[in-house]
Amino acid sequence: MRKYLMSGAAALSVVVLASGNAVAAGSAVKPPEQQWSFSGLFGTFDRGSLQRGFQVYNEVCAACHSVRLLAYRNLMDIGFTEDQVKKIAAAKEVTDGPNDEGEMFQRPAQPGDRFVKPFPNEQAARAGNNGAFPPDLTLMTKARVGGANYLHALLTGYKQPPKDQKLAEGMSYNLYFAGNQIAMAPPLAEGAVEYADKTKATIDQMARDVTTFLAWAAEPELEWRKRMGVKVILFLLILTGMLYGVKRKVWSDLH
């Protein structure tokens, strides 16, 4: 069993934000630690950052990457209203059917629909990305060692390659990617999106926001789990005190 678990972990470790294997020698730099609102025992997701992160995903990342485990209605959990969610969903089309004639048809997406994938299948995705397959991002922060720190570092880690390193055709240099060569071109650029709340869209800000969104996508139950954990700890502390008091009472006659 341990052998299979290790094999599964090894498989997950090669899943990357953009498809493509490292093809040249080089070692990735350890991602720097970041301060996240959702870290720690009492951490919670910043709703403003979540909504900005969705905007970055929707306007930049969704052209290549899916988040197949999310439905549009889930966006209400991060602060969007029902009307906003309906508008966001209606901007996409999904295949439905069959109709009365037995044919499939296209219709605007509804809140109950899963996020629409950018490509119908893996072959189409590879054909549109020079043979590389952009992976689904729903669980990306859990699939990579370093989690949110790694994802933020990867998105901000595009640099000019050292003079002694030659990049393979179609590859970009990234300081934090294993082998330093990645098939995904830099996805973020200053001002790539215009935030609805007027936050300045720097590369670091967009990387931080979309990482927060993807961390939530991977663990939407995180806040509930932490609240429950605190309640369980408090309950156990109270129970321990009560049991200690009962023990003292029961044994008091013997002293």
Q: Is there a domain that residue 1 lies in?
A: no
Q: Identify whether residues 151 and 235 lie together within a single domain.
A: no
Q: Is there a domain that residue 30 lies in?
A: yes
Q: Identify whether residues 32 and 137 lie together within a single domain.
A: yes
Are the CB atoms for 78 and 47 separated by under 8 Å? yes
Distance (Å, rounded) from C-alpha 174 to C-alpha 246? Answer: 62
pLDDT tens by residue, the chain, 255 residues: 444 444 444 443 434 444 444 333 456 789 999 999 999 989 999 999 999 999 999 999 999 999 999 999 999 999 999 999 999 999 999 999 888 888 899 999 999 999 999 999 999 999 988 888 999 999 999 999 999 999 999 999 999 999 988 999 889 999 999 999 999 999 999 999 999 999 999 999 999 999 999 999 999 999 999 999 989 999 999 999 999 988 888 887 765
Which residues, at least 6 apart from 85, have a Cβ–Cβ distance to it below 8 Å?
72, 73, 75, 76, 111
- CATH number of the domain bearing residue 172: 1.10.760.10
Range of the domain at 235: 221-255
Q: Identify whether residues 158 and 240 lie together within a single domain.
A: no
Q: Give the model's pLDDT for residue 101.
A: 87
Q: Identify whether residues 121 and 148 lie together within a single domain.
A: yes
Q: Identify whether residues 38 and 146 lie together within a single domain.
A: yes
Which residues, at least 6 apart from 45, have a Cβ–Cβ distance to it below 8 Å?
37, 38, 78, 212, 215, 216, 222, 223
Q: Is there a domain that residue 86 lies in?
A: no
Q: Is there a domain that residue 247 lies in?
A: yes
Q: Identify whether residues 215 and 192 lie together within a single domain.
A: yes
Q: Identify whether residues 142 and 174 lie together within a single domain.
A: yes
Q: Give the model's pLDDT for residue 27.
A: 67
Q: Identify whether residues 240 and 166 lie together within a single domain.
A: no
Q: Is there a domain that residue 4 lies in?
A: no
Q: Is there a domain that residue 192 lies in?
A: yes
Q: Give the model's pLDDT for residue 26.
A: 53
Nearest Cα residue to 125 out of 179, 63, 205? 63
Q: Give the model's pLDDT for residue 45.
A: 97
Reduce the secondary structure of the chain to three states and give it as a string. CHHHHHHHHHHHHCCCCCCCCCCCCCCCCCCCCCCCCCCCCCCCCCHHHHHHHHHHHHHCHHHCCCCCCCEHHHHHHHCCCHHHHHHHHHCCEEEECCCCCCCCEEEECCCCCECCCCCCCHHHHHHCCCCCCCCCCCCHHHHCCCHHHHHHHHHHCECCCCCCCCCCCCCEEECCCCCCEECCCCCCCCCCCCCCCCCCCCHHHHHHHHHHHHHHHHCCCHHHHHHHHHHHHHHHHHHHHHHHHHHHHHHHHHC
Q: Give the model's pLDDT for residue 25.
A: 43
Q: Give the model's pLDDT for residue 115.
A: 97
How many structural domains does the chain have?
2
Q: Is there a domain that residue 143 lies in?
A: yes
Q: Identify whether residues 215 and 225 lie together within a single domain.
A: no
Are the CB atoms for 144 and 221 separated by under 8 Å? no
Q: Give the model's pLDDT for residue 15.
A: 40
Question: Which tokens go with 85?
Answer: 């969610």
Q: Is there a domain that residue 27 lies in?
A: yes
Q: Identify whether residues 239 and 204 lie together within a single domain.
A: no
Q: Identify whether residues 63 and 121 lie together within a single domain.
A: yes
Q: Identify whether residues 205 and 133 lie together within a single domain.
A: yes
